[in-house]
């Protein structure tokens, strides 16, 4: 089995982990609907390299349900069908309990909307689509925080990613007989353009002390696992979670 010729929708695919996933799938011969919102990141470089026949950028704000609907419609109609969905886009503001109540509620609502409700909406569309086409694959990008929690300013993020794990397992259990497969990938620290400055800032050396390997994972490692799961070479792993955290489980 292979990704060559397949069509995938990847959210948050203009930079970081999503950008690496899109790049890897394109290298494997797939066609990618590249979702982005505020940051174009490497969108134009991928479009220039692979052309509009292989890359289809779609802008959508995942906080707005109507734009989620439009994103799916454009993705599914581009080549007439989709073989897989990768939910990678996420939102992670810093919100402590002593923040003003209005800000607290706003941030929690936004995090749950982008990180879980939008994921649920897109997975719903994918399930209905795959039931008609004979099957497909879903990979949801969760986080190490889903299992060990996060810092007090990121409790909403950890909660959303924990919900994602249970949701993905429910899809796997409910639709395996219809050849609809669902996997979770849960990274820890990943050396993206957003994370690198934080890890390299003076005084933040302690952040990697909890990682036995002593370093953040390159985003390409996350992309490699996602591409492998989408390829159909591990069908019976449906429902499983794949950790990429340098063995930093409990610290």
Residue 1 lies in a domain: no
Q: Say if residues 88 and 21 touch (Cβ distance below 8 Å).
A: yes
Q: Mark whether 157 is an active-site residue.
A: yes
Mean pLDDT over 114-134 rounds to: 98
What are the residues whose beta carbons fall under 8 Å from the beta carbon of 250, sequence distance 6 or more? 148
User: In sequence order, what are the residues at sequence separation of 6 or more whose Cβ sits closer than 8 angstroms to the Cβ of residue 74?
Assistant: 33, 56, 58
User: Is 84 within 8 Å of 130 (Cβ atoms)?
Assistant: no
**How many domains is the chain partitioned into structurally?**
1
- 250 domain residue, yes or no: no
How are the residues of the chain apportioned to helix, strand and coil, as percentages rounded to the nearest 5?
50, 15, 35
63: tokens are 């906080």
> Mean of the pLDDT values across residues 212-217?
87
How far is residue 244 from each of residues 13, 145, 189, measured CA to CA in Å? 19, 12, 8
User: Is 2 inside any structural domain?
Assistant: no
Per the residue annotation, which of 8, 36, 125, 157 is the catalytic one? 157
Task: Report the CATH number at residue 153.
Answer: 3.40.50.720
Q: Give pLDDT tens digits for 61-108.
A: 999 999 999 999 999 999 999 999 999 999 999 999 999 999 999 999
What pLDDT score was predicted for residue 251?
47
pLDDT at 245 over 60: yes
Instruction: Look at residue 33 and tell me if it is in a domain.
Output: yes
| 151: in domain | yes
In total, the chain counts a number of residues equal to: 251
């Amino acid at each position: 089995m292979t990704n060559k010729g397949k069509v995938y929708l990847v959210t948050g695919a203009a930079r970081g982990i999503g950008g690496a996933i899109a790049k890897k799938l394109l290298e494997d011969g797939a066609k990618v609907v590249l979702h982005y919102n505020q940051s174009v990141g490497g969108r134009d470089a991928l479009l220039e390299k692979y052309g509009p026949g292989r890359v289809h950028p779609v802008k959508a704000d995942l906080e707005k349900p109507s734009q989620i609907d439009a994103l799916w419609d454009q993705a599914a109609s581009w080549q007439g069908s989709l073989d897989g969905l990768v939910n990678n886009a996420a939102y992670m503001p810093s919100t402590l309990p002593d923040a003003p109540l209005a800000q607290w509620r706003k941030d929690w609502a936004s995090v749950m909307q982008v990180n879980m409700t939008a994921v649920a909406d897109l997975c719903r569309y994918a399930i209905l689509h795959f039931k008609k086409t004979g099957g497909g694959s879903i990979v949801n990008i969760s986080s190490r925080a889903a299992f060990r929690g996060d810092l007090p300013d990121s409790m909403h993020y950890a909660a959303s990613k924990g919900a994602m794990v249970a949701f993905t397992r429910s899809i796997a259990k409910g639709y395996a007989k219809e050849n609809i497969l669902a996997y979770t990938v849960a990274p820890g620290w990943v050396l993206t353009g957003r994370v690198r400055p934080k890890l390299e800032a003076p005084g933040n050396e302690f952040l990697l002390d909890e990682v036995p390997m002593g370093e953040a994972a390159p985003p390409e490692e996350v992309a490699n696992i996602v591409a492998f799961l989408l390829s159909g070479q591990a069908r019976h792993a449906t429902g499983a979670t794949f950790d990429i955290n340098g063995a930093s489980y409990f610290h």
